Chain A
Amino acid sequence: MSSASFNYVRATELTDALSQGKRPGAAYLAGGTDLLQLWKASLTAPQDVIDISRLPLADITRAGDRLVIGAMARLSDVAAHPEVKAGHPLICDAILASASGQVRNLATAGGNLLQRTRCPYFSDAGLACNKRDPGSGCGARDGENRHAVLFGGSSGCVATHASDLAVALAALDAEIAISSASGERQLALSDLYPLPGETTAPDSSLRPGEMITAIRIVGAERFAPHSTYLKIRDRASFEFAVVSVAAALRIEDGVIAEARLAAGGVASLPWRLGRSEAALIGRAPTEQAFAAAGELAIEGARPLEGNAFKIPLLRNAVIRALQTAGDQS
């Protein structure tokens, strides 16, 4: 149990929450499933915990071709929502492959995107870690790095982002709505996650006091008939991804008209596989086309000592995800 205490404040209005949240030492608590773990492990010690779980930001709505998921919506409610199931099954797949039923009933969509890395060095306060302690070095780079990134790593950090939902959302070009005491802004989901620097590696680009209020997905229902989330892990369920792939295709008259591919477990952000996507356009959904996309997915991968196995794993996962997505009707 962490030794540090904190003060608890329940926010009932957004403006109130935002003005409390900008104070130094304040932390938002939504589902609390990540924050409390970090607090118990003494990896974070907020002075004020601002409980935002009851803010009226939990609605899931569809208007026209736009789906809006309130940041406080619990993961289980997002996955069970009829509009999400019908129009965005990729999101349901990714959520249902995350954590456990007990955790998904607590965890929120916004909190999921902001969970901290699962790098084992980050979680052990005795070890060097630039993400936890900027400038202290990176223990994983030359240490135990089976879990590390293939793309976008730096000499300062090679940790992956652990969210499954983020990978599905990246494939669907989701946007994040952000509020703070000084106003509102929007970000493409992929811009929420910075690449690591040489001595620092923040897990998100949110500024102090900013709050995610909603996730917006526009025009993605066209992918519903041909999408899938494939998660490869060390055990069949209740485990983080070693590698994962979100695949979404639009197939018209037997030809791939649009393709979206994002990989998890390989970078500090959901890694869009642009070259694979481009190579699929205009081709029939055949084994040859999928194999070519798999090869392109691993181009530029830079493995460390312990994680080269992820390269064939990623290639094969891309192929298998495309086979599944291509087979659906």
Chain B
Amino acid sequence: MPSRLALTCHNRSLTFQCCGDEHQMTQSQDAKFPKQRIALSITVNGTRHELEAAPTATLLDVIRDELKLTGTKKGCDMGGCGACTVLVAGRRIASCLALAASFGDADITTIEGIGTADRLHPLQDAFIRHDALQCGYCTPGQILSAIAVLAEGARSIEEIREGMSGNLCRCGAHANIVAAIAEVAGL
């Protein structure tokens, strides 16, 4: 039995010590691509960040894991739930299906950038008053998407419902979400 087992995990490589020897395991595929790193110069909520990411990293991974802006959520990681919605130059995208390398010079807005606890964004304020959330996991994506839906020109409850169909809420707060957005739209 090993007397000591110390594990360190970094990116895709695992280092462990066993019986006094150090072993390193790297995911085999990576060996073929001696760690290509992609230089990114992205602006998030008005702040410019120079960083490097793996070629396979999604914008969502960079926002959450590198920039530690964890307001943006990962739900399905497959484009199907809207939890990861952010704005790029004002347009909403599913950041889980966006390769960070493709958006290396993007101007991004996340939930952290639209309001503060003292000065809420009107949609944040309306979501609270309309009880438009329960667990809150989908809420950042809902609000970013709603900002875009209003900018895209939704003018009726029907258009809001259709426009918001890419954002799912497991808690089923959809009715109140639509009501909150409609209020901000002046409907």
Contacts and interface: CB of A to CB of B under 8 A. Distances in A.
Interface of A: 1-8, 10, 29, 31-33, 36-37, 39-40, 45, 47, 49, 51, 53, 76, 99-103, 105-106, 236-238
Interface in B86-105: 88, 91-94, 97-99, 101-102
A39 B58 CA distance: 12
B82 interface: yes
A51 B99 contact: yes
B54 A5 contact: yes
Interface string B23-65: 0000101101100101000000000000000111010000000
A37 B94 contact: no
A103 B99 contact: no
Contact of A8 (B38, B82, B148): B38
A102 B78 contact: no
B152 interface: yes
A254 B149 CA distance: 40
A47 B93 CA distance: 26
Q: Which 6 A-B pairs have the closest CB atoms?
A: A100-B166, A8-B55, A237-B165, A238-B165, A102-B94, A33-B97
Contacts of A37: 78-79, 97
A5 B27 CA distance: 9
B109 interface: no
Contact of A101 (B36, B77, B92, B161): B92
B33 A51 contact: no
A47 B148 CA distance: 35
Given A102-B93, A106-B93, A238-B165, A33 B79 contact: yes
Q: Most chain-B Cβ atoms within 10 A of its Cβ — which of A5, A6, A31, A36?
A: A5
A36 B145 CA distance: 21
A47 B32 CA distance: 9
Given A8-B55, A8-B99, A36-B99, A101 B29 contact: no
A252 B97 CA distance: 46
B12 to A, nearest CB: 8
A31 B77 CA distance: 15
A3 B92 contact: no
